[in-house]
């Protein structure tokens, strides 16, 4: 929770935005070992006292920065398995190609060892996994996937592929991939559903057979 004083001059949302983005940038560049309030203040172009008026510690600052700025991989329900998986994959691609991508990667590696952040990250991780698994289970229930489909293998293949594609894309091309995230998500989902879904379901969903190899070069 931020530590702004009640009853004082209203906080400037633009200053808050600059600070939280600076916090993500510093964390993404230097990790927790190099994350310091002074460094964040300098990156945001403000004084350290101004920073402490808003956040009481670097743990509180990083937690709020992650909550406010990190793209969420959240529950979706478009009514079809294809639509749900496309939305989920789009969220994953945007997470790892957006302005907080370095912080997101650092978080996956360092969160368990950061006081005050570990619990928040674990709760977020569990909710995201539950949301993704529910999407696949709904598809099985609706008959869009066979009852014996492995939920874990399907999600590992799809989301792991999306994450690796984003990470292997050259830095100067990630903005292009970020803008085209939904189209790439459609290609990934189409390829996977052509491989695992009932042919009748694939035809009903309007998915065209995908003949390209599994590996798709980064954009």
Is 123 found in the same domain as 27? no
Return the structure tokens found at 202: 């694939």
Is 28 found in the same domain as 87? no
Q: Tell me whether residue 7 is in a domain.
A: no
Q: Tell me whether residue 192 is in a domain.
A: yes
Residue 196's domain is classified under what CATH number? 1.10.357.10
Q: Which of 71, 58, 59, 60 is nearest to 99 (CA)?
A: 71
Is 115 found in the same domain as 22? no
Q: Could you list the residue range(s) of the whole structural domain that residue 200 is in? A: 71-204
Is 88 found in the same domain as 25? no
According to the model, what pLDDT value does residue 205 have?
A: 52
Q: What are phi and psi of 3, to 5 degrees?
A: -115, 35
Q: Tell me whether residue 112 is in a domain.
A: yes
Residue 112 has a CB neighbour count (10 Å cut-off) of 12
Q: Tell me whether residue 211 is in a domain.
A: no
According to the model, what pLDDT value does residue 206 have?
A: 53
Instruction: Please say which residue of 5, 36, 68 terminates a domain.
Output: 68
> CA torsion angle for 54, 58, 62, 65 (degrees, to 10)?
20
Is 157 found in the same domain as 64? no
Number of domains comprising the chain:
2
In order along the chain (219 residues), what is the average pLDDT of each group of 10 residues? 47 88 95 96 94 92 86 81 95 91 90 87 87 94 91 95 93 94 96 80 50 35
Q: Tell me whether residue 79 is in a domain.
A: yes
- Give every CB contact of residue 186 below 8 A, 6+ residues apart in sequence: 86
Residue 25's domain is classified under what CATH number? 1.10.10.60
For residues 100 and 28, the answer to whether their CB atoms sit within 8 Å is yes
According to the model, what pLDDT value does residue 115 have?
A: 85
According to the model, what pLDDT value does residue 70 have?
A: 75
Q: Tell me whether residue 88 is in a domain.
A: yes
Q: Tell me whether residue 44 is in a domain.
A: yes
According to the model, what pLDDT value does residue 66 have?
A: 87
Is 39 found in the same domain as 116? no
């Amino acid at each position: 929770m931020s530590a702004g004083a009640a009853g004082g001059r209203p906080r400037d949302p633009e200053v808050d935005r600059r600070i939280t983005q600076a916090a993500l940038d510093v964390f993404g560049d230097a990790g927790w070992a190099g994350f310091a309030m002074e460094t964040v203040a300098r990156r945001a172009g403000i004084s350290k006292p101004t920073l402490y008026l808003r956040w009481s510690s670097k743990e509180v600052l990083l937690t709020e920065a992650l909550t406010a700025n990190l793209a969420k991989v959240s529950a979706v329900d478009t009514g079809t398995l294809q639509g749900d998986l496309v939305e989920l994959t789009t969220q994953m691609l945007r997470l790892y190609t957006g302005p907080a991508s370095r912080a997101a990667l650092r978080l996956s590696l360092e969160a368990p060892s950061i006081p005050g952040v570990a619990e928040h990250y674990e709760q977020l991780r569990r909710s995201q996994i539950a949301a993704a698994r529910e999407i696949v289970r709904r598809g099985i229930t609706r008959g869009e996937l066979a009852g014996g489909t492995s939920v874990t293998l399907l999600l590992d293949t799809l989301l792991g592929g999306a994450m690796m594609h984003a990470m292997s894309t050259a830095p100067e091309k990630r903005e292009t991939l970020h803008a085209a995230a939904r189209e790439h998500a459609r290609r990934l989902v189409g390829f996977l559903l052509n491989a695992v879904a009932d042919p009748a379901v694939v035809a009903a969903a309007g998915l065209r057979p995908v003949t390209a190899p599994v590996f798709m070069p980064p954009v």
